[in-house]
A = this chain, B = another copy of it.
Amino acid sequence: MSSAVIETVSITEFATTTRNWKDSEGHDHASEEPRPATGSILTVTDSDGVSGTCLFAGDYLRPNVMEEFIRPLLIGRDPIRREAIWHDLYLAQRGAYGVLHDRALSFVDQALWDYAGHRFGQPTWKLLGGYRDRVPAYASTMCGDDVPGGLGSPEDYAAFAVKLVERGFTAVKLHTWMPPVSFAPDAKLDIRACAAVREAVGPDIKLMLDSYHWYNRSDALYLAKELEKLDYLWMEEPMDEYSMSSYKWLADQTSTLIAGPESVEGKFRSRAEWAASGSVDILRVGVLSAGGITPALKVCALADAFGMDCELHGSGMASIAALGAAHNARWYETSLLHPHIDYDVPPPHLQRVPDAIDRDGFVIFPDEPGLGQAIDFEYVAANTTGVR
């Protein structure tokens, strides 16, 4: 049997708009008006002309990474031999000192999974085993702010949560206030917001908290104990996640489920240590931070082996694909929501909202080949700022 091989690998950058702006610590907030933004598409095309793409925000794949690592390790290879390609990229990371980051590995892995879907005429989530065809989404709020009608007070969170529940969501995750918001961090204020939301939505809605990430052990334990009373489903990242011992200390003292880690490097290797040591109750992984769908599913398998759920961090169609495979990943995290933005309106470079939430709070998985990213290639062509 002859195999197609990867012939070209390219990045298309295009101008688009976003309703998000980032503060000095990197948190997303809502913008009143659309703001200019850069989008990128990594495209892998084989010798038969079949392509796979990965859409991502920003310009994270720099020309030097493409030239030094991505093209040399991809061109001429069989595009369905993802494990071989991924492993070579992984080995190359050691000498690349952060330039060949886990996101780069993820973009490649996503494009290869999208390719496989197009090559075989199947949605990627099905190719991955198709455990489910829909998943409940939780509304993940932006961090708190001090904007009128925004997320400036416990009452604002409560009002927004009611709107989200009316929209169909059965679960809401609060991101509370973080610097540079002037009055943050404040663990007591976080709990006031959590209490206001519980009071507003009633006992049947699932609630989660992701707060300031650099609380000390004392504040983290305070949050966890208060959330026990408020019946929150889980709490994540109240402390620096490189202190695994702090998380074990915390998890041992509260019945609030602790989920993590999100931010630590090390992919499945670091997460094995978290699982085996009982430092969390729910293991977390992201398709971006772990280096792709392939390694994220290995973390899901790791968690499953320990009887643990695995929480998939972050929105996007690659998360949907992984949720199609892993039975112990139970929720889809939406993009970060804010009262000022209508998330049923797609950004200009998409044909539609690919991860739309139905009226029951579910994402119905796409019924088309590949990841189902819903890229508007005509818009992209008309707004391309560079191909390299």
Contacts and interface: CB of A to CB of B under 8 A. Distances in A.
A305 interface: yes
B84 A131 contact: yes
Given A1-B123, A120-B120, A325-B83, A268 B305 contact: yes
Interface string A84-98: 101100000000000
A298 interface: yes
Interface in A100-157: 119-123, 126-132
A200 interface: no
A232 to B, nearest CB: 27
Interface string A36-61: 00000000000000000000000000
Contact of A305 (B132, B298, B307, B327): B298
Given A81-B129, A81-B131, A276-B276, A305 B299 contact: yes
Interface in A151-179: none
Interface residues of A, number: 45
Contacts of A82: 129-130
B327 A87 contact: yes
How many of these chains are in the complex? 2
A301 interface: yes
Nearest to A325: B83
B78 A126 contact: yes
A129 B80 CA distance: 6
A187 interface: no
Contact of A80 (B126, B301, B326): B126
A222 interface: no
Contact of A327 (B83, B268, B271): B83
5 contacts: A1-B121, A81-B130, A269-B305, A276-B306, A302-B302
